[in-house]
Amino acid sequence: MLIAVLSCFILACFAPWLHRLGGRHSGWLLALLPATLFAYFASMLPTISQGQSLQFAYAWFPGMGIQLSFLVDGLSLLFALLITGIGFFILAYGGRYLEKHKDLGRFFVFLLGFMGSMLGVVLSDNLISLFVFWELTTVTSFMLIGFNHEQEDARKKAHQGLMITVMGGLALMTGFIMLGMAAGSYELSTILNSDGLTEHALYLPMLLLILLGAFTKSAQAPFHFWLPNAMAAPTPVSAYLHSATMVKAGVYLLARLNPGLGGTDTWLLMLTLFGALTMLTGIFLASRATGVKKVLAYSTVMALGTLTMLLGLGTETAALAAVTFLLAHALYKGALFMVAGILDHSAGVKDFTQAGGLRHSMPKTTVVAVLASLSLAGIIPLFGFVGKELLLEAVLSASKWHIGLTIATVIANILVVLVAAIVALQPWFGAVVETPKKPHDPDIALLIGPAVLATLGLVFGLMPFIADKGLLAAAAGAVYGQPVELYLALWHGINLPLMLSLSSLLLGLLLFKVWSGWRQLTNFMHSAEKIGPEVVYERLMLGMTQFAAWQTNTLQNGYLRNYLITTLGTVIIVVGWALLRVNQLELNISFQDMRVHEVAIAVLLIFSALIAVLVRSFLAAVAMLGALGFGVALLYVFFSAIDVGITQVLVETITVLLLVLVLYRLPEFRSLSSTANRIRDAIIAGMTGLLMTILILAITGARQLEGISDYFLQNSGPLGHGRNIVNVILVDFRALDTLGEIFVLALVAIGVYAMIHLRTGALPVTNSDRRAAFNLRRTQKDKAKADAKAEADASAVASKGEE
C-alpha cells in the first residue's frame, strides 16, 4: 500500500527523463503506473464490497502519534479507483494535449505528484498524514494552475488558489489537532468508532475549523471564486484536479467524518446551508457564463455544493445519493472537460458563442459530448439520472427544511438542464460558425478518455447493478456509519422525484431557447460582482500589504535615535513594572558613613555628566567625559580596587585621546533637535538613570547570601600561587574569560585594520604596489582633507534613512 502511494512520487521524480525517453508517447508510458494501480485497487473490490475494510500501518513519527496508516473501505476505494482510473486517461490525454509545450516534462512531475498526494488523502487513516497529503495536493495544484507561468494572470490565480486553500488547510490542521485531543488518537478508524465526540467541549471550534478547511478546498460559497480562476491551468489539469478529484477532497473529508462528527444541528445547518447556497450560486453563474471552461467550472461548483448539502442531511438515502452523484459527476465532468480541451485543441474554440455546427467536422467528439451532457442533465437512461432521482428523494425526505431544500434543488436542476443543453447543443449543432482553427476529430489519445468515461455513464445507467455491486453501497455505508440497505435502480416508478425531474427538464430546455435573453436579464450580476467575495479577498490582501507597509515604516523608520528611544522605553516599562511589583522595596540609602572626598567625587561626577550633555563643543564634551571617567577611577582607588582604578585611568586616557583625534576631523555640533525632542530625550535618559540607580540600591539592600569571593580570598595564595587576588582570578580562576577577551582584542584589531584599508576603491596593498600607493596617497591627502568635511555632513544626512 505504501509502495502504491509512494510510487507516484518516485515516478514523478524521474518523469522529465522518462518523458525524454518516451518522446511523443511519453503520456502513454507514464500512464502505465495509474493503470497498474487501478488494477491493484480493483483487486480489493471483492473484499470491500462485502462491507469489510483493510488497514495498513507504517511507523513514521510515533512521538506525535503520526504514522503512515491507510484505511481502505468503500469510500476510499471508490475515490482511489476514480483517481487512478481518470488519472490513466489524463496522463495519456495530457501527453498529447501538451505535446508541443516545452514544459511537458515538468507537467508530468506535478501531475504524478498530485496523483500520489490525492491517493494519500483518500487512503490515509491517520489524520495528520492525511493533512500532509492534503497540503501536497494544494502545492501541486498551485504549480499546475501557474503552469503557464510567464503569464501574469496565471501566476496571480495560482497565488489566489493557494492562499485560499492554505488558509483553510491551516484551519483544518488546528481542527485535526483538537479532534485528536478529543478522541485520543489521530486514527480515523478509532475516531469514527469513539462516542461522545459531539458532546466534547471542543466540538464546536473543531467542527468549524474542519469545515473551513473542507469548504475552501471544495470551493463552497463564499470561497467558490478560486475554482473558476483555477481554469488558468491547462485543460487536462482542470479535468483532473479541478473537477474530478482534488476539489472533491473537501467533500471526501466531510463524508469521511460524518459518522463521527455528523448528526448534530450545527452540522446539518452548516452543511445544508452552505451546500445549498453553493449549489445555487454555482449553477446560476454557470448559466450566465459563455467561456467553455467557465461554464464547466461553475457547474462543478454546483456539484460540490450539492454533495455538501447531501452530506449535511445525513440520512441513508442522502448518503447513497451522495456517492452516486459523486461517481456520476466524476464521469461526465471529466469527460466534458476533456471535450472542452479538444474544442480548444482541434478547433481553437474557448467560448460557446464562438462555435456552431461542429458535428460535421467533429462527429466523434459530438457523440461523446452529447452523451456526457445527457448524464449531466440527468436524462434517462444515463447514470446522471440515477443520481438525480436519489438526490430529489433525499431532499424530499430531509428531516428539516425539506420544502426549502427541494425548491432550491429544483431551481438548480432547471439551470443544470440549461447548462447541459448549452454544452450538448451550442457548439455542435445549428449553423456552422467559422472557428480559429480548422476543426477535426482528434487523435485517439485525446478522445479515448472522454469516450470511455461518457460510455461508462451510459453503462452504469442502464445496468446500475454493475456500479452498485457492493462498492457504492459500501461507500454509502462508510459515509452513513453503518451498512446501507438500499440499492440502485434506474427506474423507481412514477413518483414525485420523477415529476420534478421532468418539469425541470422542460423548463431548462425552454430556458435554453432564450439563453441570450437570460444572460441579459441577469446582467445585474455585473454590479453584484463588485461586492462579491473575490473583491473582498482582494481588498483584504491589499489592505494587508498596505498595513504591512505602514507598520514597517513606522517601526523600522531608519532613525537610530528612535530605535534607542524604543529600546530604552521598553527597559523602563518592563523593568519598572517588575520593580513596582516588589512588595517592600528596601533602598540601601544612608549618608552616615560618607566622607568629604566621596561627596566631592560624587559632585564632580554629576557635574561633568551634566556639562558633557549641555556643552556645545565636541572638545569640551570629550573633556567632560574624560573627567567623568577619571572620577570613576578615583572611586575605585578609594574603595581599594587599585588595579581596576589603574585600568580605568588607562582606558579613559586612550579614549579621550582617540576621540580628540577623531573629532578634530568632524564639524561642530549642529542643533537639529527641537526643544520638545530634547525634553523627551532628557526624560527617557533621566528615567533610565533613575531606574538603574534604584536597581543598584535595591540589590545592595537585598543581599542575603554569602558569595564565592571568600573562596578566592582563601585559595589564591595556596592554590593559585599568587598574592594579587585580582591577577589570580584573571589568569587562573577565570582564565577562560581572559582568553575570550584576548580574542575580542584580536577581533577589534582585524576589524579596524579592515575598516581602514578595505573600502570601496581602497588603495592597493600588495608589496609591489606599496610605493605607488604611497605616492598616490600623498596627492590624495590634500583632497581628502577637503572631502572629510563634506563626507561627514553627508553621513549625518545618510544615517537618517537606511535606504
758 lines the binding site for another protein (CB under 8 A): yes
Question: Which region, judged by CB under 8 A, interacts with another protein, from 133-141, 412-420, 642-650, 674-682?
Answer: 133-141
Question: Which region, judged by CB under 8 A, interacts with another protein, from 213-221, 506-514, 632-640, 707-715?
Answer: 707-715
* CA–CA distance, 37 with 365 (Å, rounded to integer): 28
* CA–CA distance, 70 with 631 (Å, rounded to integer): 77
- x-or-dash pattern for another protein, window 57-96, by CB under 8 A? --xxxxxx-x------------------------------
Q: Shortest gap between Cβ of 71 and another protein (angstroms)?
A: 19
Decide whether 66 or 421 has the Cβ nearer to another protein: 66
Considering only 3, 431, 494, 578, the residue that binds another protein (CB under 8 A) is: 578
Query: Which of helix, strand or coil describes residue 359?
Result: coil
Considering only 510, 514, 525, 574, the residue that binds another protein (CB under 8 A) is: 574
Confirm if 340 and 455 have CB atoms less than 8 A apart.
no
734 lines the binding site for another protein (CB under 8 A): yes
Please give the residues from 19 up to 58 whose contact with another protein meets the rule CB under 8 A: none
Considering only 695, 776, 784, 796, the residue that binds another protein (CB under 8 A) is: 695
- Residue 66 pairs in a beta bridge with 61
612 lines the binding site for another protein (CB under 8 A): no
- Residue 68 pairs in a beta bridge with 58
Considering only 194, 482, 552, 727, the residue that binds another protein (CB under 8 A) is: 552
Considering only 139, 507, 604, 660, the residue that binds another protein (CB under 8 A) is: 139
Please give the residues from 250 up to 269 whose contact with another protein meets the rule CB under 8 A: none
Closest CA to 142 of 60, 211, 232: 232
Closest CA to 254 of 287, 212, 292: 212
Q: Could you write out the DSSP letters of every residue in 594-657?
A: --HHHHHHHHHHHHHHHHHHH-S-HHHHHHHHHHHHHHHHHHHHHTT-HHHHHHHHHHHHHHHH
Confirm if 238 and 147 have CB atoms less than 8 A apart.
no
C-alpha cell at 582: 516588589
Confirm if 340 and 358 have CB atoms less than 8 A apart.
no
469 lines the binding site for another protein (CB under 8 A): no
Name the amino acid, one letter, at 629.
G
Closest CA to 227 of 139, 293, 136: 293
Which residues have CB under 8 Å from 111's CB, separation 6+?
A: 87, 90, 91, 94, 140, 144, 236, 237, 240
CA 60 to chain centre: 24
Decide whether 207 or 349 has the Cβ nearer to another protein: 207
Q: Shortest gap between Cβ of 139 and another protein (angstroms)?
A: 6
Q: How many residues bind another protein (CB under 8 A)?
A: 107
545 lines the binding site for another protein (CB under 8 A): yes
Torsion angle, CA of 178/180/182/183, rounded to 10 degrees?
Answer: 160
Question: Which region, judged by CB under 8 A, interacts with another protein, from 149-157, 192-200, 257-265, 293-301?
Answer: 149-157
Output b/e per residue, 246-274; b: 16+ Cβ within 10 A.
Answer: bbbbbbbbbbbbbbbbbebebbbebbbbb
200 lines the binding site for another protein (CB under 8 A): no
Looking at 290-417, which runs of residues are DSSP E strands? Answer: none
Question: Which region, judged by CB under 8 A, interacts with another protein, from 37-45, 211-219, 423-431, 549-557?
Answer: 549-557
Considering only 540, 548, 603, 651, the residue that binds another protein (CB under 8 A) is: 548
* CA–CA distance, 789 with 783 (Å, rounded to integer): 11
211 lines the binding site for another protein (CB under 8 A): no
Considering only 744, 784, 790, 792, the residue that binds another protein (CB under 8 A) is: 744
Q: Shortest gap between Cβ of 577 and another protein (angstroms)?
A: 8
560 lines the binding site for another protein (CB under 8 A): yes
Decide whether 174 or 397 has the Cβ nearer to another protein: 174
- Residue 70 pairs in a beta bridge with 56, 124
Closest CA to 595 of 639, 645, 641: 639
* CA–CA distance, 74 with 138 (Å, rounded to integer): 25
Straight-line distance from the first to the last Cα atom of the chain, in angstroms, rounded to the nearest whole number: 56
Q: Shortest gap between Cβ of 27 and another protein (angstroms)?
A: 21
Question: Which region, judged by CB under 8 A, interacts with another protein, from 231-239, 260-268, 560-568, 671-679?
Answer: 560-568
* CA–CA distance, 33 with 35 (Å, rounded to integer): 5
Output b/e per residue, 647-681; b: 16+ Cβ within 10 A.
Answer: ebbeebeeebeebeeeeeeeeeeeeeeeeeeeeeb
Output b/e per residue, 770-784; b: 16+ Cβ within 10 A.
Answer: eeeeeeeeeeeeeee
Question: Which region, judged by CB under 8 A, interacts with another protein, from 279-287, 363-371, 744-752, 775-783?
Answer: 744-752
Considering only 193, 709, 727, 780, the residue that binds another protein (CB under 8 A) is: 709
- x-or-dash pattern for another protein, window 489-518, by CB under 8 A? ------------------------------
Considering only 265, 593, 668, 706, the residue that binds another protein (CB under 8 A) is: 706
Please give the residues from 655 up to 694 whose contact with another protein meets the rule CB under 8 A: 692
Q: Shortest gap between Cβ of 771 and another protein (angstroms)?
A: 18
Measured between alpha carbons, how far is residue 611 from residues 515, 565, 669 in Å?
89, 22, 15
Question: Which region, judged by CB under 8 A, interacts with another protein, from 45-53, 262-270, 337-345, 547-555?
Answer: 547-555
Q: Shortest gap between Cβ of 59 and another protein (angstroms)?
A: 8
Question: Which region, judged by CB under 8 A, interacts with another protein, from 310-318, 345-353, 413-421, 739-747?
Answer: 739-747
Q: Shortest gap between Cβ of 319 and another protein (angstroms)?
A: 30
Considering only 403, 499, 521, 750, the residue that binds another protein (CB under 8 A) is: 750
174 lines the binding site for another protein (CB under 8 A): yes
Please give the residues from 585 up to 604 whose contact with another protein meets the rule CB under 8 A: none
* CA–CA distance, 401 with 320 (Å, rounded to integer): 20
Considering only 431, 494, 661, 736, the residue that binds another protein (CB under 8 A) is: 736
772 lines the binding site for another protein (CB under 8 A): no
Which residues have CB under 8 Å from 281's CB, separation 6+?
A: 221, 224, 301, 305
Which residues have CB under 8 Å from 278's CB, separation 6+?
A: 219, 220, 221, 224, 301, 302, 304, 305, 308
367 lines the binding site for another protein (CB under 8 A): no
696 lines the binding site for another protein (CB under 8 A): yes
Decide whether 63 or 196 has the Cβ nearer to another protein: 63
Q: Shortest gap between Cβ of 177 and another protein (angstroms)?
A: 5
Decide whether 223 or 298 has the Cβ nearer to another protein: 223
153 lines the binding site for another protein (CB under 8 A): no
Give the number of other Cβ atoms within 10 Å of residue 456's Cβ.
Answer: 22
Residue with cell 496508516: 69
Considering only 170, 411, 632, 649, the residue that binds another protein (CB under 8 A) is: 170
Give the number of other Cβ atoms within 10 Å of residue 240's Cβ.
Answer: 29
Question: Which region, judged by CB under 8 A, interacts with another protein, from 302-310, 357-365, 556-564, 639-647?
Answer: 556-564
Q: Shortest gap between Cβ of 125 and another protein (angstroms)?
A: 17
Q: Give the dihedral sign, CA 518/519/524/529.
A: positive
Closest CA to 515 of 628, 382, 666, 352: 352
